Amino acid sequence: MDGDGDGDVLAGRNTTDGIVWFENNGNENFQLRNIETEDARVSQNLAVIDADNDGDIDFFAPDANTRAIRLFENAFHFDFVVGENSSIAGEATVAAGDVTYTLSGTDAQTLNVDENGIIGFNLPPNFEAPLDANTDNVFDVVLTATEGDQSVDAEISITVNDATEGPLFQAATPVFSRNNIVTDADQPRVVVATDIGGNGVVDLITANENSTSLNWLQNNGSESFSQQTISSNFANARAIVTTDLDSDDDIDVLAVAEGSNRISLFTNDGNERFTQTNNFGFINDIQSLFTIDIDADGDTDVLSVADNSADWYENNGVGQFSNSRNIDRELVGGQSVYAIDIDGDEDIDVITASRLDNTVAWFQNDGNQNFTRRDIATDVAGARSVFAIDIDADGDSDILVASEFDDSITLFENTVSSNFERRLITNEAIGAMSVRAIDVDNDGDLDVVSASSGDDTIAWYENDGNKNFTEHEVAVDADFAIDAFPADIDNDGDIDIATASFGDNTVAWFESTPTFSFTVAEGSQDPVVTRAVPAVEMETEEVVIYTLNGDDSDLFTIDEQGNLSFVDASDFENPVDADEDNVYNLSVTANFGGIDIEAPVEITVSNVNDAPTISGAPATSVVEGEGFSFAPEVLDTDGDSLTFSIENRPNWAVFDEETGTLAGTPGAADVGTVEGIVISVSDGSESASLPPFSITVAAAPVVATPPTTDNSSSGGGSASYLSLLLLAALGFRRKERLRKQN
């Protein structure tokens, strides 16, 4: 059944999906394989034969549902799984004899096949920057084996796994630290990250505006670089691309310099010695290059954009190129070119950005390299850089544009029938110069990286998975930042960024350190998540093991899922972190497969506003004419500014809203009781109140006052008074005698 020289077994049963075959491994051990029957209900009667004369075994079976005889055609399919940086994808020898092999299909331009059917990568695959058409690290091609006038096809799927078998932190926010490589580059204009040495580490290729050298910054594997010269006769660089152009399995360099009007190919002899050839025709003012197999013939072709034209150059398979073949002659200030399948018809279309007519356009390939122009937008002011990838993971290619004059990074989302919906990512990238996309924070979606010259900024824009982007600054001191190329430069599984800053003559790389930063409310013991996952899915019972380190690690626990919690509830007013500033610093280490990764963790405790407290027992009565005063006692642990209020204030009293004092002197008209008096205090968001109380105003007591004598009247005044006293005394004595007599 599978053409491997041993006998397999085909079986059918009278059920839906009832055909299976058992693959013989050559040692009479068999593995069950199901055959898709598309809901046919087949019987046990199967007829086996090479029905289409293509060298493999097909079979016929009756379908009980349709009462028809159905042919099940055998199509070879190979599935390979390789690690990133692998040069060999797999061996797919599908025929014997004098056979030649060719590749076609979506990802044929990234692979090669030798005379033995061994498939290899033109460039070692980079898991973090996938090169397959769908950018999902699954390369799909069709391998054709031909002998004489007979041929057979096999479908090939090659899955690339991450080379790091240890863990990776999920959704940690990268913090970038600057590492200068060259600080006297004389106005560097372009930087490209690639493994030029083929040793599994990322090198950098750079060129400068005002020097004559094209340089290879060789990564020594220990975060240091040594500068090698590819060419000392290359002035005024405009564009660089790197790929295998002569099909010898090493990385070549393609570059163009302003004023030369010629594309230069620097072929690598496999030992990082480069030979310059200029086998391209003249094109005025070339600004941008791109490489891809545009004609699906198994080798890598070249595209260019110049001031007023877009062209492509056909590769004959060994690095010899045709004269320019026109795509468009109506660009105005062409700046950037990219190529990818835009319309899902499995051929390569072309995208351009032109700066002077503010236009982003795509050119639809009819499959025979005849192109039809379709403008996407004509108001992208100073369109400078274009990049295409499936940003929203919906199966089609979207377009990113950096536009210099309107300071914007824009996403053009590919929708139905290759129409585009415009989404602004930012309009604050002053003088935007370059844009690329990659998963910066390892959360499974594609983020965006930009360089902008007017604000000296390298930035990345975090995708939340729903095409909403949050800006994060990488650097704001990259003087006239002109290019930013994301790649895993230190080979630690996360994305770093290489940069060229024109104004300070610097080529640098910014190392990414995954960092967790959280803000939690005081008192909360809900966990924060610092989860890591294996970089490669493996069938193993081994789990990620977490440990904590750092100044404040003893104050936390972490469980087997990476959930980090306070041992004791935090108290903003009484911080217990090492610096007593409510910022807790520690690190979490995740181990899987014997490999450790570490991430800093910063947890900031925010203040939860505590309501103020109020207390005091006011007097409940007062006599008219006497003074009354009461001031409550208050406490606010947050030190907030406080205000007071009152309900049912007595008319005779005044209330101070700043101190809460109730004071006054009631009069005779105020005699009575005022009930339901409530004094409250507020800090602006929380408040507290005294229990309701009453104040009763009592009338003042009446005191008898002796009459007064006016001595200025006629002289009988004093005698009259004495007479009255005497009569009163006599009356009393008479009453007393009568009492005793009775």
- The structure tokens 């660009």 sit at 331
The sign of the torsion formed by the CA atoms of 238, 242, 245, 250 equals positive
Return the pLDDT at 72.
Answer: 65
pLDDT digits (tens, 9 = 90+) for 539-577: 556 788 999 999 999 999 999 989 999 999 999 989 999
pLDDT digits (tens, 9 = 90+) for 669-706: 999 999 999 999 999 999 999 999 999 999 998 776 66
**Residue 642 predicted with pLDDT over 50:** yes
**Residue 479 predicted with pLDDT over 80:** yes
Nearest to 531 by CA among 558, 561, 493: 561
Percent of the chain with pLDDT over 90: 54
Residues paired with residue 713 on neighbouring β-strands, in sequence order: none
Question: Which has the minimum average pLDDT: 11-15, 254-258, 464-468, 566-570?
Answer: 11-15
Distance CA 253, CA 196 (A): 9
Distance CA 610, CA 590 (A): 38
Return the pLDDT at 361.
Answer: 98
pLDDT digits (tens, 9 = 90+) for 594-621: 788 899 999 999 988 889 999 999 999 9
Top pLDDT among 268 and 1 is at 268
Please answer whether residues 500 and 189 qualify as being in contact, where contact means their C-beta atoms are separated by less than 8 angstroms. yes
**Residue 734 predicted with pLDDT over 80:** no
Return the pLDDT at 635.
Answer: 94
Q: Which CATH number fits domain 517-606: 3.40.50.1950, 3.40.640.10, 2.60.40.60, 1.25.40.10?
A: 2.60.40.60
Reduced DSSP (H G I as helix, E B as strand, rest coil) percent helix, strand, coil of the chain, to 5? 5, 50, 45
Question: Which has the minimum average pLDDT: 58-67, 230-239, 521-530, 574-583?
Answer: 58-67
Top pLDDT among 533 and 391 is at 391
Distance CA 310, CA 339 (A): 12
Return the pLDDT at 443.
Answer: 87
Task: Grade residue 168 by pLDDT with cuts at 50, 70 and 90.
Answer: confident
Measured CA to CA in angstroms, residue 627 lies from 368, 652, 679, 698, 699 at distances of 104, 10, 19, 12, 14
Please answer whether residues 446 and 432 qualify as being in contact, where contact means their C-beta atoms are separated by less than 8 angstroms. no
Residues paired with residue 255 on neighbouring β-strands, in sequence order: 240, 264
Question: Which has the minimum average pLDDT: 192-196, 218-222, 240-244, 339-343?
Answer: 218-222
Distance CA 421, CA 241 (A): 29
Return the pLDDT at 740.
Answer: 52
What b-and-e string marks burial along 54-70, b requiring 16 or more CB atoms within 10 Å of the CB?
ebbbbbebbbeeeeeee
**Residue 719 predicted with pLDDT over 60:** no
Top pLDDT among 532 and 129 is at 532
pTM of the model: 0.67
Q: Which two tokens stand for residue 273?
A: 């010695």
Return the pLDDT at 738.
Answer: 46
Q: Which two tokens stand for residue 572?
A: 């903003």
Question: Which has the minimum average pLDDT: 107-116, 377-386, 421-430, 688-697?
Answer: 107-116
Write out the DSSP string of 577-629.
Answer: STTSSSEEEEEEEEEETTEEEEEEEEEEEEPPPPPPEEE----SEEETTS-EE
Distance CA 144, CA 357 (A): 45
Distance CA 224, CA 242 (A): 21
Angle among Cα 289, 295, 297 to the nearest 5 degrees reads 115
Q: Which two tokens stand for residue 448?
A: 């965006």
Q: Which CATH number fits domain 10-63+73-146+156-161: 2.60.420, 3.40.50, 2.60.40, 2.40.128?
A: 2.60.40
Distance CA 675, CA 692 (A): 8
Distance CA 334, CA 434 (A): 14
Return the pLDDT at 281.
Answer: 67
pLDDT digits (tens, 9 = 90+) for 6-23: 777 777 765 555 677 677
Return the pLDDT at 7.
Answer: 78
**Residue 251 predicted with pLDDT over 70:** yes
Residue type, 211: S
Question: Is 613-697 a domain of CATH 3.40.190.10?
Answer: no
Return the pLDDT at 201.
Answer: 87
Query: E strand or H helix at 722, and its extent?
Result: helix 717-741
- The structure tokens 């040793």 sit at 199
Alpha carbon 687 to its chain centroid, in Å, reads 41
Residue type, 61: A
Task: Grade residue 135 by pLDDT with cuts at 50, 70 and 90.
Answer: confident
User: Do 613-697 and 10-63+73-146+156-161 fall under one CATH topology?
Assistant: yes
Return the pLDDT at 100.
Answer: 84
Return the pLDDT at 522.
Answer: 87
Average of pLDDT values for 234-246?
89
Return the pLDDT at 94.
Answer: 47
What's the chain's average pLDDT?
85
**Residue 325 predicted with pLDDT over 80:** yes
Top pLDDT among 93 and 533 is at 533
Percent of the chain with pLDDT over 70: 81
Q: Where are the beta strands (DSSP E) in 464-531?
A: 469-475, 481-487, 496-501, 506-521, 528-529
Question: Which has the minimum average pLDDT: 188-202, 256-270, 349-363?
Answer: 256-270
Task: Grade residue 170 by pLDDT with cuts at 50, 70 and 90.
Answer: confident
- The structure tokens 């031909």 sit at 146
- Residue 276 neighbours by CB distance under 10 Å: 15
Distance CA 584, CA 590 (A): 19
Nearest to 473 by CA among 428, 520, 424: 428
Distance CA 128, CA 328 (A): 33
Average of pLDDT values for 463-478?
95
Burial class (CB in 10 A: 0-12, 13-18, 19+), 615: exposed
Task: Grade residue 52 by pLDDT with cuts at 50, 70 and 90.
Answer: low
Distance CA 67, CA 62 (A): 7
Question: Which has the minimum average pLDDT: 245-259, 439-453, 505-519?
Answer: 245-259
pLDDT digits (tens, 9 = 90+) for 386-409: 999 999 999 899 999 999 999 999
Return the pLDDT at 732.
Answer: 47
Residues 6+ apart with CB under 8 A from 351: 337, 338, 339, 340, 342, 360, 361, 362, 363, 386, 388, 399
- Domains of the chain, by residue range, sit at 10-63+73-146+156-161, 517-606, 613-697
- Residue 505 neighbours by CB distance under 10 Å: 20
Write out the DSSP string of 57-99.
Answer: -EEEEEETTTTEEEEE---EEEEEEEETT-SEEEE-----SS-
Nearest to 174 by CA among 490, 479, 456, 415: 490
Please answer whether residues 378 and 401 qualify as being in contact, where contact means their C-beta atoms are separated by less than 8 angstroms. no
- Using only the alpha carbons of the chain, give its radius of gyration: 44
pLDDT digits (tens, 9 = 90+) for 200-218: 789 999 999 888 889 999 9
Average of pLDDT values for 476-503?
95
Nearest to 634 by CA among 679, 596, 586, 664: 679
Nearest to 293 by CA among 122, 127, 62: 122
